[in-house]
Amino acid sequence: MHIRYNGAPGDGASIYWHPSNGAWLIVNGIREKGMSLGAEKSFLGYPQSDEYDVADGPRADFKGGYIRHNLTTGVSIEHKPEDRTAHLRNDLAGDFNGDGRSDMATVYDFGSGTTALYVLRANEGGGFLAPVLAFNSGLGNFTAGNAQWVAGDFNADGRDDLAALYDYGAGDSPNGLFTFLGQPDGTFKSLPRSAYVGAGNWDGSKAKLVAGDFNGDGRADAAIMFDYTNGRSALFTLMGKPDGGINEDFVSWTRPTGWWAGSLGNLVSGDTDKDGRDDVSVMYNTAKGATSAYTFKARPDGGFNDHLRSWEATAGTW
């Protein structure tokens, strides 16, 4: 049965009945998507539920799968039962509301150039509360797949924040750094873009981002290892500002062609020598299969000294 609301130009709702499923109401975007696929004759078959709320929109279940509608993008997408959404999410840890417990933030890719941030606040038992929407970029304003994310307290207010290195497009397009400040209620406040690299300088896909307090001033900073290809790499530092923004980059370490391929190493940060400044460590895999642990010790200006190799494994042993 199809239903047309008063004054509507066409049908806006449908009631489907089947002896094995009962009767269920399907409306609006989910109904339109189902109809476009062939309604009950599609792989979805007959509905098995009314619509119910999930992350940023309703969902309806069908015998052969389900349809989700996103209220921000206005897009409805069909799924088979085995479909998963892990590839749409990026999870980070931090104390985002300043209560002394580590929470979990999830960057959720809504598609259509739209990104949302959710926070799962830690509870007293060590688990998490249900996700709460903490930020929504709005339609077409931020493509999640173009960004790398890190967590840290960039304004030293006792609450961890998020920072995103955003690549505006393929190749040597512009790149910007955005900060999302943690609030007492666990949400985020988006700051205007604070650092920017113009077109023709970086390919964001060749950069690796890490956060830490590299100059020991109590505020998190950002460091980027950039791979110029052909074995040439450089380590950039972007210092945190009191307002939570990030200063423009400066080069603190570099190697000429043939010495270091940034794509072959994974970066982490931490104070390895207890001097009050976070350092950058790299587990580096050489082209010949050997593996080494390197440390770039931070200087008082936030830059980094030459790499120190402390451990090595020959090819085939690690």
Mean pLDDT, rounded, of the chain: 89
pLDDT per residue over 50-59, tens digit each? 999 998 899 9
Confidence tier at 255 by pLDDT (50, 70, 90) = confident
| Token pair in block for residue 137 | 């970029």
For residue 179, the model assigns a pLDDT of 95
Query: Does 137 have pLDDT greater than 90?
Result: yes
Confidence tier at 284 by pLDDT (50, 70, 90) = confident
Which residues fall within 8 angstroms of residue 287, CB to CB, at 6 or more apart?
261, 264
- DSSP, collapsed to helix, strand or coil, labels residue 205 as helix
| Token pair in block for residue 29 | 């975007």
Could you tell me what percent of the chain has a pLDDT over 70?
92
Which residues fall within 8 angstroms of residue 25, CB to CB, at 6 or more apart?
13, 14, 15, 50, 51
- CB neighbours (10 Å) of residue 310? 11
Q: Can you tell me the distance from the alpha carbon of 159 to that of 220, in angstroms, rounded to the nearest whole number?
A: 11
Q: Can you tell me the distance from the alpha carbon of 212 to that of 216, in angstroms, rounded to the nearest whole number?
A: 9
- DSSP, collapsed to helix, strand or coil, labels residue 13 as strand
Query: Does 263 have pLDDT greater than 70?
Result: no
Q: Can you tell me the distance from the alpha carbon of 176 to that of 196, in angstroms, rounded to the nearest whole number?
A: 4
Q: Can you tell me the distance from the alpha carbon of 85 to that of 178, in angstroms, rounded to the nearest whole number?
A: 25
The Cα angle at residue 306 between residues 301 and 312, in degrees rounded to 5: 135
The Cα angle at residue 197 between residues 193 and 203, in degrees rounded to 5: 115
For residue 260, the model assigns a pLDDT of 66
The Cα angle at residue 210 between residues 207 and 214, in degrees rounded to 5: 125
| Token pair in block for residue 118 | 């959710």
Q: Can you tell me the distance from the alpha carbon of 139 to that of 85, in angstroms, rounded to the nearest whole number?
A: 20
* Between residues 268 and 12, the one the model is more confident about: 268
Mean per-residue pLDDT for 63-86?
93
DSSP state of 305: P
For residue 258, the model assigns a pLDDT of 61
Query: Does 204 have pLDDT greater than 80?
Result: no
Torsion sign across C-alpha atoms 203, 201, 294, 145:
negative
Mean per-residue pLDDT for 162-179?
85
Which residues fall within 8 angstroms of residue 19, CB to CB, at 6 or more apart?
none
CB 149 within 8 A of CB 159: no
CB 117 within 8 A of CB 135: yes
DSSP state of 240: B
Highest mean pLDDT among 1-15, 157-171, 283-297: 157-171
CB 145 within 8 A of CB 153: no
Mean per-residue pLDDT for 23-41?
92
Mean per-residue pLDDT for 125-145?
94
Q: Can you tell me the distance from the alpha carbon of 47 to that of 15, in angstroms, rounded to the nearest whole number?
A: 9
Alpha-carbon torsion angle 258, 264, 270, 276, nearest 10: 10
For residue 310, the model assigns a pLDDT of 87
Query: Does 184 have pLDDT greater than 60?
Result: yes
For residue 95, the model assigns a pLDDT of 97
Mean per-residue pLDDT for 20-24?
88
- DSSP, collapsed to helix, strand or coil, labels residue 37 as helix
Which residues fall within 8 angstroms of residue 87, CB to CB, at 6 or more apart?
none
For residue 124, the model assigns a pLDDT of 93
Q: Can you tell me the distance from the alpha carbon of 207 to that of 181, in angstroms, rounded to the nearest whole number?
A: 23
For residue 316, the model assigns a pLDDT of 81
- DSSP, collapsed to helix, strand or coil, labels residue 286 as coil
For residue 156, the model assigns a pLDDT of 96
